[in-house]
Amino acid sequence: MKERVVRIFDRMDPKPDLVLLANSTDPHVDQTFYYLFGVPSGLFEGSVAIAHPDGELDILSSPLEAESAEQAAKNDPHVQVHVVNREDTDALVPKLAGNPGTIALHYRELTHDWFVRLEKVFPGAKWVDASEAIRRTRVTKDASELERLRKAAEIGSAVGREIPRLLKAGMTELELAAEMEYRMGRHGASGRSFATIVAFGPHSAEPHYQPGSARLKSGESIVCDFGAIYERYVSDITRSFHFGQRDEEMKRVHDTVEAAQRAALEAIRPGVPAKEVHLAAERVINDSPWKGRLTHGVGHSIGLAVHDGWGYGPKAEDLIEEGMAFTVEPGIYLPGKGGVRIEDDIVVTRDGYSFLTTTPRSYLEVPA
């Protein structure tokens, strides 16, 4: 992981003496800890990563993950693991850090409790924020990351293809969500990327709906938004279906969302401002009868987190870069009636993009 450490330092000017990451308790565990230390398992609550400008990395691990940490370090000569109890951590950190004048912290992930501890450990140190350097480094994936993202997308895509035959009149949203999560595990996922969204009928008009006890009825639209975790990397897929008797308006809505996604995908290539991808989809929707019913940004980065530090909307100026992995997910939402969202994961290539997700995205009516 030396290259990843060096890339973060290279994005900081002037360079700090070290970058320090400190984990609290779940869910306040910094995903960048796993980015710099590619350990495949373990939670690492309370652990610390001390990154040095030459790419060397010191990891302070609790005894709970000692075996996993030491095994991972055997495969990386630039990582040193120190197994230490929490009460001894504060004494060991300054010994490993030397006498730094400037220390970079990940402000967006560090808890206030840890910052108070570090001020006592390093009295007089100058603190700087590494958050943007970390974000810009993580947003472009290397080959090993893309391999894991592809596997996570394959798992999610397999489940997406199975959803139509799972649909039954009278089933609840929670029942379908549970079945989808079970099948992700059967296909090799270690967990879900986020709380699975299953929305029937009018509920599908709320993009971040939480599934409940609503039962599926003929004539309803369905939105399923879900993702799988594979070796810490995630996928994020949304597919929309119609159950039973056709609703002609919702069919046209689905066709429009498909067209909006195609327009967005056609805008993707290195060097293009990210807002152009959003605006391409938005133009299609605003030229339809459902102007203004796209109520969110058209995508976000994926990686170790499902919202991996970067999202794009109509004002996003970040330039698209080769190796970025992100979602493309336009939608149209009609309050009181229903919604349609189509979401795929892609990776930016030299000339455009390639799909990570492969589930069919065309309109599908499932017999009731």
Domains and CATH numbers, the chain: 2-138 (3.40.350.10), 143-366 (3.90.230.10)
- pLDDT tens sequence for the chain (368 residues): 899 999 999 999 999 999 999 999 999 999 999 999 999 889 999 999 999 999 999 999 999 999 999 999 998 999 999 999 888 999 999 999 998 999 999 999 999 999 999 999 999 999 999 999 999 999 999 999 999 999 999 999 999 999 999 999 999 999 999 999 999 999 999 999 999 999 999 999 999 999 999 999 999 999 999 999 999 999 999 999 999 988 999 999 999 999 999 999 999 999 999 999 999 999 999 999 999 999 999 999 999 999 998 999 999 999 999 999 999 999 999 999 999 999 999 999 999 999 999 999 999 999 98
The Cβ-side half-sphere exposure at 300, using a 13 Å CA radius, reads 17
Are 143 and 169 contacting, i.e. CB atoms less than 8 angstroms apart? no
DSSP 314: T
User: What predicted TM-score, i.e. pTM, was given to this entire model?
Assistant: 0.94
Helix, strand or coil for residue 279?
A: helix
29 CB contacts (<8 Å, ≥6 apart)?
23, 43, 44, 45
Stated length of the chain = 368
Beta strands in 204-337 (DSSP E): 220-226, 228-230, 233-234, 237-243, 299-300, 311-312, 325-328, 331-334
Whether the upstream peptide bond of residue 27 has omega within 30° of 0, thus cis, is yes
β-pairing, 48-51 vs 57-61, is antiparallel
Task: Count how many Cα atoms sit within 13 Å of the Cα of residue 316 in the half-sphere of its side chain.
Answer: 23
SS3 175: helix
